[in-house]
Structure 1
Amino acid sequence: MRFKTHTTEQDMLWPQTHRKNSLGGNSKTIMIATLGPANYNYEESLTTLRYANRAKNIKNQPRINEDPKDALLRKFQEEIARLKDRLENKGKGGRKSRRHKNRDGTEVGDDASDQDDEELFLKEQQDKLNEEKRTIMHKKNINETEREALLRQLEEQKKAIEHEQDDRRKMQHKILEMESKLITGGKDIITHTSEQEQTLRQKRRQIAEVERRNREVQQQLQQREEERQTMNETYTSIKEEIEDKRAKRDKLSKSLKKLDTKKQDIIEKHRSAREELEAEQREIQKQSKLFQLIIENFIPVDERERLLKRIQFDEQHNCWALKELSKQADQMASRPLSANGDRRSASLYAQGTTIPEIARFKDENVILLQLDFPSRTTRDYEGPMVSPMIQAAIENAMKDEEHIELDANTIMSKKGTKKKKSNPNNGGYGDIQIGRGMNSARR
């Protein structure tokens, strides 16, 4: 959303979290959709109209401001009354039950008398069926086929009565169970009501699943019926066929538009839910990093380890908690040390030198950085392998002469002694003897 220049009202977090409870119920909500006539606002106008139409079609059930416990009790009482009415009306064939009024004006049926009457009625029906069966068995003026058909009918009626009796027993057992769990006082009222509410939610989910399957089956049947009609269609003229095809095309186009709208709504809802989850995740990560930073900088390591050993998850309150410290009678406190981590006392300077420099100034919020040395641009001097004087003499001697004999023994033997005076006749290079001609050359 941060890269958008405009945030639509339906994309904001506030309507998504509050419009569910703000529409209907104990309040009345008025929504004004504002449209712009400009061409570039066409898509925004369509989105606003679509959102306004969805909000207009929301029909929430009115809710009464009452205590949640009383609301759950009232819901269970209504469910019990509905089951009792269903039990009274099941199989009575329109027979009226005796009812009387309480002091508060509510009508209450005579459950005991109605139950006894119903049991007597079912017993009478079974007796009648048994009597008819005996009559058919003793009749001699009917053949075997008719007798078997009559007996089969009697058996079916008997099974139906037994099935009705079983259903009635199950409903009575359910009513008794709900009445036994419906407690008007005591400490376990919230537990019982929550269990019953969970059961009702499960039943509603099962009913919704059955309805969904029924809708799918109906859609499949309708689709097959349309395919069958399409295969059996015959046209008297080409014009009639064209009109029929055009009508089918328009119908399919409308269905496609509805599906596209539904798809866009689902995508929008998924996107908004994902943005909410991402925002919540970022907030949780931010809090986690803050807590981690506080723990690393302000809580000692040994204390942190002790806390980690004591921490545990409380499933009842859905949070983390610390276990209580063990209080043993024979547990003796350890001898206090003169210095933390040492066996003897130490000065502040000695304690400061044992702490690394990086950690010494953390409480003063001072950061220590290492020096950033530049890269080296020079190199070390490397001297020549031969003395410069000798190298110059060799180069001068090699210029014109073909055969040169050098005697460097005197130089090596007199190394470290006082340097002799140079002879000017030999070019100023000490005792170096240079012979010329073929006779002076030695190999």
Structure 2
Amino acid sequence: MDSAGEGHIRVGKLNMVDLAGSERQSKTGATGDRLKEATKINLSLSALGNVISALVDGKSSHIPYRDSKLTRLLQDSLGGNTKTVMVANLGPADYNYDETLSTLRYAYRAKSIKNKPKINEDPKDAMIREYQEEIMRLKAELGSDFGGGGGGPGGAVGGPYGGQAGPRVPMAPRVEKQIEYVEKIVERTVEREVIISQGPRPEEVAEMQAKMRQQNEETRLKAEARRMEVAAQRDMAESEKRRILAEVDLQEGQAMQEQQRKAELEANLHKMEEQMMAGKQVMEKAIEQEAELKRQQRRLKKQDEKEEVLKVQEEKQRQENMLLEDQCASQEEQVAKLTAKLQKLWDKYQKTQQEMVDVQQFNQSEREDMLSMIRDLRQTLKLKALIMEAFVPMKEIQNTQERAAWDPEEDEWRVQPIRIDKDNRLGRPGSVLGLPRPTSEFARLNRQMGDPNPRYMYDSIVMTDLDLPERTTEDYEVHPELGDRIERAIMTALSQ
């Protein structure tokens, strides 16, 4: 709460931001999402650097806070009623020498930001506070000037021999009444939202002026009476008469000065109250000034557009003037100028022609390379198609085509692996039927007779021949006519 009984709120804000350093793709080797993230980080740091440069420069009228989300969020922390501190993290490795210098320059620019703090106060409250301070100062000045006046009504001027007079005219009661009246004016309620004060009415001002004139007249009459009283004392010493007359003149002059000063102070108070009464008018005037400012901005914009048009016209006029000057010059100068222009145009034409020839040659070379590549691809395609038609069954081709799928990310065809159903999978054939190992006839007979450990003699081992597999392939025999036809087809495909 302040002296006027109004509450004020102090608000503090602390923004702590961890800025990621800029990354070079050539050093980090980032790809995919990390590369996109690094690109966005670099863009945000660049926008923040532009804002810091604009704040440090001081010449820029526009601060680009809205170029990125980072600068928009840090708008309160950069410039204005804030203090900005940047802590730079550096490393001693010479591998990052360029990045270290860039970080140091970045931090130095942030260090050079100059803030201009000011209280975020309502303009109406500021105006009320200024007026109240001025009224209190005038009130204190009135109290210091008139608060220590003379004593009672007879304390300053006594009888003919009443001793020395006081330093002021006996007008303390009247001064106190005026101070009370001024206090009543000063202590009137001031609305906070709408600055409207009643102030003294015209009748009160007229009454106060009449009282001041009456007091001045009374002071003058008393001074005249004092002079007449002094002149009537015939037996009074001449020096005493002069002294008393001088004191009366001095008191009268002081009284007039005090009355004049009082009138000036009351006029200042009246002026301040009129200003407070005009608070609403000030706000309306501010709104009108804002509207006028917008009109001036639109007018300046139109004026800028007119200036642009005038610049174009001026440039056109300048070119016309140059043409006129060329026409007005001598023929030799015209020939020299035209020759120089022609030479420049000719050089430009030759250069353009050479560039066109180079471009045509480059395009022709590219076209030939592409045609050669297309021919090679066609030959390869025909050769593979011919081989598939001659040696690969159509069913296998269809199965391969069904399992082929295009991969847009890798930009190539992929063949899915063959999936075999477990229910339809062929079983593994048994290697031995019956006993787990070859057994001789002698051993089988002994086992049937009840011998649990029949004797295995060397002559009782079964001698068997190799079990050769059944042949499932045939020798390929090419018919002479079919072989010649295939050979011609292959040669034709390769020749194309």
TM-score, scaled relative to structure 1: 0.36
